[in-house]
Each structure stands twice: as C-alpha cells, then as structure tokens.
C-alpha cells in the first residue's frame, strides 16, 4: 500500500430529518446549537466516531484495521499490544530511552490501528506509546440554515418498577430537528501521511466511510440521516497548490429557486454548485457522490 502523495480538502454535506444528529450532554441532550445564529452544530468527534464504526464493520478482523478508540477499550491495553509484539518492556509513563525503539512503538500503533494513522492519537499514558499527528482532520459541521429543536412527548406502556404498576403509562421526551442540512470541511495532508503510513487504500476506505457511515448508524434518536454530497479538491503538489479557504469559498449552497422564506424540509430544497473559476490551477475538483 503506497502512501498518498497529494493533499486534499473536501466539503461534506449530510442531513437529518426528524432526529437529533448530535445531542449536547450539557443541555439535556438537545441538538447542539450556535446560540448566536441558531444554526445546528455536529462535532468532529461525533463524525469520527461514526467513521470508526463503519471501518470496524467493513474491515472486521483484517490486520491493520483495528480501531484504537472504541467503546469500552482500555487504552493502556492497546499500547501493551505494541510492547508485547516488539518484545519491549515498558516503564511507567516513559518511552524507551532508545529512540529507535520509541519510534518503532509508535510506528506499530500506526500500522495496526486505522484511526491512529488516520486521525492521530495522544498515547502518552502510563503505558507510553508516543504521540501521532494524523493526516486527516475535520472541522465542526454547521447547518446551512437555522434549525428549530422540538421537544416531543412520548409514552411507554411498560413500567420499570413494580411500584408503578398501577400507572397506565409512563411519559418521556425526545429532542428532534424537523430538518437540517449540515456542511463540514475536511483536510488531508500528504506530508503527515508520510509519517503515519496513511495509504491510497486507506484514503479510498475513508471516502467509502463518508458515503456509508449513516447507513449503519440508524437509531430512533437520530431519525433519518443521509450523506448527500462529497466535493473533493485534489492538489498536484503534496504541499498544496492553494489555501484551503479559497477552495471552500468556491462551494456555494443556496435555496432552490431562491425561496428562503419557507423552512427547508428536504435536500431538494437546496442547490449546490462549485464556482470552477475560483479554483486555482493545480487543483482538481471531483464530486464523489
């Protein structure tokens, strides 16, 4: 697997209907909001979690595609795998004094864990395996228009405790957005990929994960979520041919027909376009879906 040699940026669009794309635990699990604009937010952490979940399903059991940051994992035990495989004895909180062995430990983690070589990881815990800057980074997703969170009452015919048997039903609540289209920007560095071994095969897997991550993440809380569009900017030069913000500014998302007076209720209410004249020489634009 050859390491990627081109820099990339991408614009990723996804939407939600009658669901909560990313609840805020500090606000009673309400959908995250920018309080100044009332636009919806989804954290990069939430998106990376879904990518990890997709990769763990597609590549289950395949060498080199284990997931480092997974539910109920003990990170020190993940690090111990590297020490054991390389026959190195660890000292609490310290890397080996031999720099070559220290680099070998970190390289082993990159080689065996997809999310370490993709997103990076701070592995300086009690069982120290070093620190990695990942070539793939994502920003927060922001909705195109302001969103309106709704609190919906629900009922349950079963009860939890015997003392509640006389009750006909118990009440609950869930928080949803009727609809929201979200935009997120991403960055892929070829120079950082050289350090982690992020390969062309890894890149294709990452694109597939963006196209399919919601297909295996269904839940009552998240309603209908769908990946709608992925616009990729590929640079000829590993260091890049243009600043990322210049490329992002070339992608325009507006209301279809110019009517923004009624609330959007579907992706068809929007029109997405790329101003090719604003894309500098040396950068290729492609729509993956």
DSSP for the chain, written as a single string:
-PBP-S-EEEEEEEEEEEE-SSEEGGGTTEEPB-TTT-EEEE-HHHHHHHHHHHHHHHTTT-TT-B-SS-TT--HHHHHHHHHHHHT---BTTB--SSHHHHHHHHHHHHHHBHHHHHHEEE--SSS---EEE-SEEE--EEEEEE---EEEEEEESS-SSGGGTTSS-EEEEEEEEEEEEEEEEEEE-HHHHHHHT-BHHHHHHHHHHHHHTTTT---TTT-EEEEEEEEEEEESSTT-SS-HHHHHTTEEEEEGGG--SS---SGGGEEEEE-GGGSPTTEEEEE--
Predicted TM-score (pTM) of this structure = 0.92
pLDDT band at 110 (very low <50, low <70, confident <90, very high): very high
The share of the chain scoring above pLDDT 90, in percent, equals 78
Label the pairing between strands 120-122 and 131-133: antiparallel
State residue 169's pLDDT score.
67
Query: Who contacts 126 (Cβ-Cβ below 8 Å, separation ≥6)?
Result: 76, 92, 93
pLDDT at 71 over 90: no
Work out the percent of the chain whose per-residue pLDDT is above 70.
98
Residue 253, beta-bridge partner list: 272
How many Cβ atoms sit within 10 Å of the Cβ of residue 89? 7
Alpha carbons 179 and 185: distance in angstroms, whole number: 20
Mind listing the pLDDT tens digit for each residue in 228-246? 999 999 999 999 999 999 9
Q: Which of 70, 3, 7 is nearest to 244 (CA)?
A: 7
Q: Which of 29-43, 78-92, 159-173, 253-267 has the lowest mean pLDDT?
A: 159-173
Q: What is the mean pLDDT of the chain?
A: 92
- Cα separation, 119 vs 132, whole angstroms: 8
Q: Is the pLDDT of residue 266 over 70?
A: yes
| Residue that has been written with the tokens 């609950």 in this structure | 172
CA angle 194, 106, 50 (to 5 degrees): 75
Read off the pLDDT of each residue in 33-52 and give the average, rounded to a whole number: 97
pLDDT digits (tens, 9 = 90+) for 6-25: 999 999 999 999 999 999 99
Q: Residue 125, class by beta-carbon neighbours within 10 Å (0-12 exposed, 13-18 middle, 19+ buried)?
A: middle
pLDDT of residue 125: 92
Per-residue pLDDT, 123: 94
The pLDDT score that the predictor gives to residue 168 is: 64
Lowest mean pLDDT among 89-93, 144-148, 153-157: 153-157
The dihedral formed by the CA atoms of 23, 26, 27 and 29, expressed in degrees to the nearest 10: 30
Q: Which two tokens stand for residue 99?
A: 């720099």
pLDDT digit string, tens, across residues 165-209: 676 666 777 889 999 999 999 999 999 999 999 999 999 999 999
Map out the domains of the chain as residue ranges.
8-287
- CA dist 39 and 142 (Å) reads 7
Question: Degrees (nearest 5) of the Cα angle 136, 143, 180?
Answer: 120
């Amino acid at each position: 697997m050859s390491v990627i040699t081109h820099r990339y940026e991408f614009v990723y669009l996804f939407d939600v209907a009658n669901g909560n794309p990313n609840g805020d635990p500090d606000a009673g699990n309400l959908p995250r909001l920018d309080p100044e604009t009332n636009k919806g937010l989804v954290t990069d952490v939430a998106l990376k979690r879904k990518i990890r979940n997709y990769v763990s399903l597609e590549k289950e059991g395949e060498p080199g595609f284990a997931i480092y940051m997974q539910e109920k994992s003990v990170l020190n035990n993940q690090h111990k795998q590297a020490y054991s495989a390389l026959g190195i004895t660890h000292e609490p909180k310290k890397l080996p004094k031999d720099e070559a062995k220290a680099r070998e430990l970190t390289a082993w983690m990159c080689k065996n864990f997809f999310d370490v070589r993709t997103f990076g990881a701070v592995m300086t815990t009690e069982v120290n395996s070093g620190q990695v800057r990942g070539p793939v980074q994502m920003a927060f997703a922001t909705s195109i228009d302001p969103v309106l969170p709704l609190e919906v009452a629900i009922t349950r015919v079963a009860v939890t405790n015997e003392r509640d048997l006389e009750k006909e039903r118990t009440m609950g609540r869930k928080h949803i957005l009727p609809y929201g289209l979200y935009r997120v920007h991403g960055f892929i560095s070829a120079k950082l990929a050289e350090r982690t071994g992020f390969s062309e095969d890894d890149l294709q897997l990452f694109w597939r994960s963006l196209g399919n991550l919601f297909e295996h993440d269904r839940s009552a809380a998240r309603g209908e979520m769908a990946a709608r569009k992925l616009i990729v900017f590929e640079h000829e030069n590993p260091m890049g041919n243009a600043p990322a913000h210049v490329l992002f500014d070339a992608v325009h998302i507006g209301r279809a027909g110019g009517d923004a007076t009624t609330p959007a209720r579907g992706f068809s209410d929007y029109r997405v376009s790329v101003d090719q004249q604003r894309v500098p020489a040396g950068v290729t634009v492609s729509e993956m879906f």
